[in-house]
Amino acid sequence: MNDLDSDSDTEVVESNFPDEKQPSARELSFDEKLDNLLASNNLQNHFKLVQNDFKITSKDQLHNLSSVLPLIPELSQKLVQFSDAQETDYQELISSLNEDISPEYKFILSINELSTILNQEIALFLNVLKVQYKVVFPELETLILNPIDYARIIMIIKQDLANIKLYEPKLKEFIPNEKVLVVIMAALQQVPNQFPLVDEDFNIILDCCDIIFTLDDILYKLSQFISTRISKFAPNVSAIIGPITTSQMLISVGSLKQLAMTPSCNLASLGVKDLSTTSGSRSNFVRQRGYLYHCDLLKYLPNDIIRPVMRIISGKIILAARIDLSQTDSDGLLGRKYLEEIQVKIDKLLAPPEQQPDKALPVPIEQKSKKRGGRRFRKMKERFQMSELRKSQNKMQFGIEEETIMDGYGNEIGLGMSGKNYSGISKIKVNKNTNAKMSKAMAQRLRASNEASTIESDMIVLPKASTDVAKETASTNSIANKWFNGMTK
């Protein structure tokens, strides 16, 4: 037992020294290497190194940042091998759930995940390229967003910014004329502040451009391989988002039928985890970063319109999937039509708001405003006009002190020419039109109330003693009347 323990200890000690020669291990196959690559998370660590101003001084350090470059020769052989093979039914291939999965299905699964890693590695080397080339031409990264075009321009102009006009025909081959003019003007302004690099440092920049071209070339080959497999079964969906993203979604949901039944709001969540979340600023604006987030339509859009564009594309994908499932359009014409509609909507979202000029006010119509006339209107104006006494109160005579009175609130009120010191106050006519008047309806109501009160007073019953006195007075009055009538006769 002691011998066994000692042997195990020595084995552990020997394994802790990587420099010592170990027995040759079994060489991994291509599938195992590809599985290890997809399972590893080295790309995130590489992004952290680049963010921390990691300085690359040799070509080997640059190549060690990529995990796909060593597998590119074997990957190209696999592409040729499966391309020459007989075409299989893709719908049956992606819907099979048996344990014995075909090698082509495994390869397509790996390609879908590998394409995402390739896009992330291209972004990684683009960041390295920007850091290295910033001292030569810093404005170029803001003018050119496409990493392939950015690397092409560097390979063409290099450090010769003063003679950039000589390279104008080459630049116009892959860049619009307006963009070429902007790049030339920015480069000529940068010439006085340019910092030339030595050949060793600039060779690292050229090597980084070569790596970007290599990764983009293998990504293009992967897309061509998948397009030959997917364009036959989902032509309309692949016309909108491309063959790679289409295959990724089909494999993720299981079949074309499941994709057609999937709600459009769930499409943005389909996909692998974004490995560049620690480096990319785009991911901070969008929560759902699946396969759709990395398609070509969304790759170079501004952050503020990515979410509405994803909603637009998701709706069109579901419609195209239902068309492909019914097999009513095998040429993909409707898919291309949907793509044109999406591009028109994207252009509208990218267009700046229309600047509306200041609208002048209309010319005023010079005419007298209409005023009500008639007897009732004149009577109303007379009732509310200023009285003669108030007019005289607003007047003052020069050299005579004005009389004032105090109102109930303690405010001093001037009397003007209506005071006692002026003899003209007796000549002021009283305007009876300004007196308070009662409406006819109010007068009728008061008259009716008075009549009701008189009727109630007549209905009051008098006491018995008072009635006897009334009878006696009535009899004496009748006698007196008869006597006076006789005297007059």
Q: What are the tens digits of pLDDT across the range 412-447?
A: 988 888 877 666 566 677 777 777 778 889 889 998
Q: What does the alpha-carbon distance between residue 131 and residue 53 come to, in Å, rounded to a whole number?
A: 8
| Helices 243-253 & 103-133 angle (0-180, nearest 10) | 130
CB 132 within 8 A of CB 204: yes
pLDDT of residue 14: 38
**Tens digits of per-residue pLDDT, 50-79?**
555 556 777 777 777 888 888 888 888 878
pLDDT of residue 316: 93
**Tens digits of per-residue pLDDT, 272-285?**
554 444 444 444 56
Please give the mean pLDDT across all residues of the chain.
76
CATH number of 235-351: 1.10.246.90
Q: What does the alpha-carbon distance between residue 175 and residue 172 come to, in Å, rounded to a whole number?
A: 5
> What band does 314 get if pLDDT is binned at 50, 70 and 90?
very high
**SS3 label, residue 404:** strand
pLDDT of residue 402: 85
Q: How far is CA 479 from the centre of its chain?
A: 112
Residue 45 scores a pLDDT above 70? no
Which range has the worst mean pLDDT, 15-24, 416-425, 452-461?
A: 15-24
**Tens digits of per-residue pLDDT, 243-291?**
878 877 887 787 788 888 889 888 888 875 544 444 444 445 677 778 8
pLDDT of residue 304: 85
> What band does 315 get if pLDDT is binned at 50, 70 and 90?
very high
pLDDT of residue 36: 75
Strand (E) or helix (H) holding 88: none
Q: How far is CA 65 from the centre of its chain?
A: 36
> What band does 96 get if pLDDT is binned at 50, 70 and 90?
very low
Q: Which residue has the higher pLDDT, 124 or 285?
A: 124
**Tokens linked to 118:** 């390739």
**Tens digits of per-residue pLDDT, 360-413?**
888 888 887 777 778 888 888 888 888 888 888 888 888 888 888 898 888 998
Counting residues of the chain whose pLDDT is more than 70, the rounded percentage is 74
CB 76 within 8 A of CB 218: yes
Q: What does the alpha-carbon distance between residue 207 and residue 211 come to, in Å, rounded to a whole number?
A: 6
The pTM score is 0.51
Beta-carbon neighbour count of residue 247 at 10 Å? 29
Residue 306 scores a pLDDT above 60? yes
CB 159 within 8 A of CB 196: yes
Residue with tokens 């979202």: 349
pLDDT of residue 312: 93
Residue 214 scores a pLDDT above 70? yes
pLDDT of residue 54: 57
- Give the CA angle between residues 143, 144, 148 to the nearest 5°: 170
- Give the CA angle between residues 484, 487, 489 to the nearest 5°: 115
Domain locations along the chain: 235-351, 384-434
Which range has the worst mean pLDDT, 44-48, 326-330, 368-372?
A: 44-48
Beta-carbon neighbour count of residue 33 at 10 Å? 16
Q: Which residue has the higher pLDDT, 462 or 401?
A: 401
Residue 318 scores a pLDDT above 90? yes
Q: What is the mean pLDDT of residues 144-166?
A: 88
Which range has the worst mean pLDDT, 167-181, 238-252, 313-327?
A: 238-252
Q: What is the mean pLDDT of residues 297-310?
A: 86
pLDDT of residue 473: 58
Q: How far apart are the first and last CA of the chain?
A: 177
